[in-house]
A and B are shown apart, each in its own frame.
Chain A
């Protein structure tokens, strides 16, 4: 049975008809399959949530223990049935390499295999197992950075840039805008990997998820809350991690001679960095760049590609040119800017 007959874009999100389930719905539904914990993919208020144990932990941390009426934690590669017993939809989670707990979801219905990859990347990430290419008939991909101008450098290079700046401006507090889930912890690990053992300072919004990562066995080193530092002048020459919205907030005024940095895939574009008045743009992304998207699609080699949020025009154009069957799904509500 053709995939588009049982898997449809709806206002709430992508809907699997025979399982009566939505994938990453943006409104509360009866049954939600969730790829990862970013706020635009995982909301609270569903009746039942099925996702990985780590994503459940993230959702509980963010929304509290009553974030859904029922939850079910899945291991990677473990298959279970949805829908009717005679005519089931088989569902399996595979690693996506995006953030802690992130997964691709393989749905098989009447022999047709569809992989919903969620958000994913191919660069190494010590907080999650690497993306796995799953053979399928339909591969559903994001297109956040789907323009050939986007090239993500290795994270070591960008962390090095930050440390160099720290050496060059030892009197300035380096305030780094990072998304609280995923980017924050990856930056910390990137800095630690380069031998930076100083305490890292956290804006209040980063604390809970960093603690969760540590509970999950990911060692982040010494993390100190900015609010616990009585004498803020001590933060000169130190690194403070804060949500991007706090960069220009009154909150940052208490810090000494702030040098604004931001870690995001968008920082490659000068105007984007300029708009945020970022002095030190760090190109760090948890998504694929253009080449990684094309390489992944070639590796998965699906019968057909469906493109969700992002710059779908460009990817659609390129795939069509390569002779790959592709179409754009217009799914709304996934906020490209907030999470990268």
Chain B
């Protein structure tokens, strides 16, 4: 644990990626199994359990410090683990720290009431930096500027392998990754994952650069809709089946109705949506199932989930990712007719033969409530995990805009803890303002300073952490879509609202009305 904490400190304060890679490779080289494997799991976010809840930490802390002083400290530091790390009283004698592996096992096996004792024991014997490391590790909130992707790249560098090889293996392996290190260090063959029910890393697209459109040759591209659902991977092998989110989370239980659609083996890439008798419903309809880990039979009946499939990675147990999209499309069609289930729909290829038709298709997609725009995929593209350049593009429909009035503001967290950076905004209904959304992005740092300053000078009331402000500042809000919503007083909900421009010049009375907002709802 001591070495791991030192590694975290170094990674945290190092900005250069090369330097980070060097630090981590050095750690891997000098740390034995299984410690280094657990360290990788912690860094890449594949530890499966939390040691303790944030709230348990807070409770323990409040037994040792005045609650007001804790609140002021937290407000200043902006982050719980660090606040506790600095506030926790130092012990008279430091305790001997166990290995990372032992520590993880101790917390894993501890019963509910033992966790507190264990946590107290370690916090009291540690330095502030070690306390921070333990709290971050234990709440799985480790953020040291290394993405899971970078960790894999560093592992690849460490063993002189291609990162795509690591990507392919990754989800089939489990911490502490001993077989992986055996292979990386040349003591064993590559781990065999044939037939494993596991997530395969997906291929991602780039936004279509505006200036690229005129240079496209329509014949090279397969054009499909970009669906407004969630990207999933459906996996079926002789060992079983599962449904994964695009980040590799197993969501089989939440969407059992999709999982049972067929038993034909394969790995399929597609979009999860609510599909009623072949009709695709909106994201709003899907949302009601997204937060249910185990939906009721009734909900599954009322909101039946289905897949719009667009690619195939394995046909049966045969890897087809090295074939072109065109070839994969044929295989996908055959697979689909074998599966023959109304919950599985093939994503249609749009008839686009030239750039004019492409523009028309884009316009049509922009006016369609069920889709987010277009996908452009090179017909000769292989299925490459990650985000390869020039292969797949997403062309999202243009954002909608509304002029709204800032109504409330709240402070951000961490780096933004001293700024009012979360804004609730509203539009007019008659002569009252109704809140229609919340935005905390879209502005520059410079604009944030000005907004913060404005909030401080124009605050009129306080509800806990929320400041009410003078209803005078207009912002142009951009958002991807607007839907009817029964959960909001205004009756509408915005998708991904952000502040597009601050209209210091515009009087609040000239902001948009709820009626204007409603007009932007696209009827299905």
Contact = CB atoms under 8 A, between A and B. Distances in A.
Nearest to B65: A148
Interface stretch (A40-48, A97-105, A310-318, A323-331): A310-318
A174 to B, nearest CB: 14
A314 B69 contact: yes
Contact of B72 (A271, A275, A311, A321): A311
A272 to B, nearest CB: 10
B142 to A, nearest CB: 13
Contact of B415 (A275, A279, A311): A275
Contacts of B65: 148
B88 to A, nearest CB: 10
A311 B76 contact: yes
Contacts of B415: 271, 274-275
Interface residues of A, number: 23
A149 B87 contact: yes
Interface in A124-176: 147-151
A278 interface: yes
B68 interface: yes
A149 B86 contact: yes
Contact of A271 (B15, B73, B79, B132): B79
Nearest to B15: A277
B414 interface: yes
B86 A268 contact: yes
A317 B69 CA distance: 8
B13 interface: yes
B287 interface: no
B73 A148 contact: yes
A74 interface: no
B454 to A, nearest CB: 21
B189 interface: no
Interface string B346-359: 00000000000000
B13 A278 contact: yes
A270 interface: yes
Given A269-B82, A270-B82, A317-B68, A147 B15 contact: no
Interface of A: 147-151, 268-271, 273-275, 277-281, 311, 313-314, 317-318, 321
A318 B69 contact: yes
Given A148-B87, A269-B77, A271-B78, A281 B69 contact: no
A268 B417 CA distance: 16
Contacts of B83: 149
- The 4 A-B pairs at the shortest CB distance, nearest first, are namely A149-B86, A149-B73, A314-B72, A279-B13
Interface string B311-354: 00000000000000000000000000000000000000000000
Contacts of A314: 68-69, 72-73
Given A271-B79, A271-B414, A150 B13 contact: no
Contacts of B77: 149, 269, 271
18 contacts: A148-B86, A149-B76, A149-B77, A149-B86, A150-B86, A151-B128, A269-B82, A271-B78, A273-B13, A274-B13, A274-B415, A275-B415, A278-B13, A279-B15, A281-B13, A313-B72, A314-B72, A314-B73
Contacts, number: 57
Contact of A148 (B14, B15, B69, B417): B69
A280 B69 contact: no
B446 interface: no
A92 to B, nearest CB: 35
A311 B75 CA distance: 12
Nearest to A313: B72
Given A271-B78, A279-B14, A151 B69 contact: no
B12 interface: yes
A257 B82 CA distance: 30
Given A148-B69, A150-B86, 4 more contacts: A149-B76, A271-B79, A275-B415, A277-B15
B72 A151 contact: no
B66 interface: yes
Nearest to B12: A270
Interface in B406-426: 414-415, 417
B74 to A, nearest CB: 9
Interface in B280-336: none
Nearest to B84: A149
B159 to A, nearest CB: 25
Given A271-B415, A274-B415, A318-B66, A147 B73 contact: yes
Nearest to B14: A279
Given A279-B13, A279-B15, A147 B82 contact: no
A280 B72 contact: no
A29 to B, nearest CB: 29
A10 B79 CA distance: 36
A268 B76 CA distance: 12
B14 A151 contact: no
Interface in B1-29: 12-15
Nearest to B129: A270
Contacts of B12: 270
A228 B521 CA distance: 68
B508 to A, nearest CB: 32
A258 to B, nearest CB: 11
A268 B82 CA distance: 10
Contacts of A318: 66, 69
A318 to B, nearest CB: 7
Contacts of A150: 86
Nearest to A278: B13
Contacts of A279: 13-15
Contacts of B82: 269-270
